[in-house]
Amino acid sequence: MVTVKNKPNKPLSEFVERLLTGQALLVDSPQNVLEVVGILKSYGVVLDAYSKNLIYIADHQFLVFFPFFKYFNGEITPQKLFRHWWHDRINFEYAEYCMKAMMWHGGGGLDAYLDTKEFQQRAQAVIKAKFATNPLVMGINQLFPDFLIEQLRVSAYYSGLGQFWRVMADIFLNLSDRYDRGEIKTIPQVVDHIKAGLVADALKPITYAVTINNKVYDIIPKSLGLTFLADTAVPYVEAVFFRGTPFLGTVSLNAQAYQIPPDQARFQYGALYADPLPIGGAGIPPTLLMQDMRHYLPEYLHKIYRQSLRGEDDLRVQICMTFQKSMFCVTTAAILGLMPYPADSSEPSEQEANRVYLEKWMERLKTSQILNVNK
């Protein structure tokens, strides 16, 4: 993906001070509050749909080799079929893109568990139950023992991301309701709302079970102890906000061109780094998200876009720019929520530990769009 790199000599120390004094990575202004809350309202509606579909696929389309109707949530009608063909629908492909990026980059307890013998044993039990009367598939499973297990790993990520987005959708929609009631007026209040939501559901169990012939098979049992924050939220932020994946057609994947890093840990193609200009063109995955969000923009935000220089001609680009602002607020909430000590601590050693912690984050964000969203 094409990115705009901020000049390295521009200091980001001011952002460390902001966070230590209860502010956010995004400057506080009435315009920014309106934009962030408005776009998160739209995003919450879309995430609600994404979450339901991912969980449906995990629960009902597992080990289905050709899931032609996986985007229909079990409701297949001629009307929905024609809308699907006409692309008058939610673009669930973007949800799968995020799931694949999350699975590829890994991290967290979910990723570690899917490589254990315990998971393989549970997966084999599901495979045997699912294909007990299908000798062809069972024969293939004998020849290629990792093939069907890998399909269940993917299903586990469908479920894990769906459960994560279920929580985030509720947080964003509740934020919009509070804004409408006049309870949210500043960017720090937006961040506090998101952080409170993350903390409240931090220990929410991540589980996954499927039903075959009226018998329930635990794939991710509750006893495993996987939780919302550590095992889905943090890996998601790392995979989608920071690393991402290079978009085909915008950079060369030829190793001799050196346009992408040689290892995943150095990838900087996530939501915080993306150049908004390519967003809006065909073949760029986030374009699908921007297309989905444009249908659910609150009128007060849509009005601002219509009054811009190009009006609705570059609506997806404008949505992307606002969306990046909102993601820096979400990132602020995550950073503050994981900070080793309270921001208002008066203990010198704790203050120093917090400063070192924040400086490490700023080092990672120095090539992001952080300066551009604050212009």
Least confident stretch, 42-46, 260-264, 302-306? 260-264
**Does 248 reside within a domain?**
yes
**Does 332 reside within a domain?**
yes
- Given a cut of 80, is residue 311 above it in pLDDT? no
**Does 312 reside within a domain?**
yes
- Given a cut of 60, is residue 167 above it in pLDDT? yes
Q: How confident is the model at residue 8 (pLDDT cuts 50, 70, 90)?
A: very low
Least confident stretch, 119-128, 216-225, 273-282? 273-282
Between 9 and 172, whose confidence is greater?
172
Average pLDDT of the segment spanning 365-371 = 93
Contacts 24+ apart (CB under 8 A), 262-266: 264/104, 264/105
**Is the separation of the CB atoms in 229 and 198 below 8 Å?**
yes
**Does 1 reside within a domain?**
no
- Which tens digits make up the pLDDT trace of 30-48? 999 999 999 999 999 999 9
Average pLDDT of the segment spanning 338-344 = 90
In the predicted model, what is the mean pLDDT of the chain?
A: 92
**Is the separation of the CB atoms in 209 and 156 below 8 Å?**
no
- Given a cut of 60, is residue 5 above it in pLDDT? no
- Which tens digits make up the pLDDT trace of 86-122? 888 999 999 999 999 999 999 999 999 999 999 999 9
**Does 321 reside within a domain?**
yes
Q: Fill in the amino acid letter for 300.
A: Y
The helix (run of H) or strand (run of E) holding residue 310 is none
**Is the separation of the CB atoms in 198 and 334 below 8 Å?**
yes
**Does 74 reside within a domain?**
yes
pTM across the whole model: 0.92
**Does 3 reside within a domain?**
no
Q: Fill in the amino acid letter for 127.
A: I
Domain count for the chain, please give it. Answer: 1
Average pLDDT of the segment spanning 258-268 = 88
Cα gap 179→175, rounded to integer Å: 6
Residue 60: domain span: 13-373
How many CB atoms are closer than 10 A to CB 184?
Answer: 19
- Which tens digits make up the pLDDT trace of 226-241? 999 999 999 999 999 9
- Give pLDDT, residue 277: 87
CA dihedral for 105, 329, 201, 45, sign (positive or negative) = negative
The helix (run of H) or strand (run of E) holding residue 216 is strand 215-220
**Does 8 reside within a domain?**
no
- Give pLDDT, residue 11: 57
Rg (CA), the chain: 22
Q: How confident is the model at residue 7 (pLDDT cuts 50, 70, 90)?
A: very low
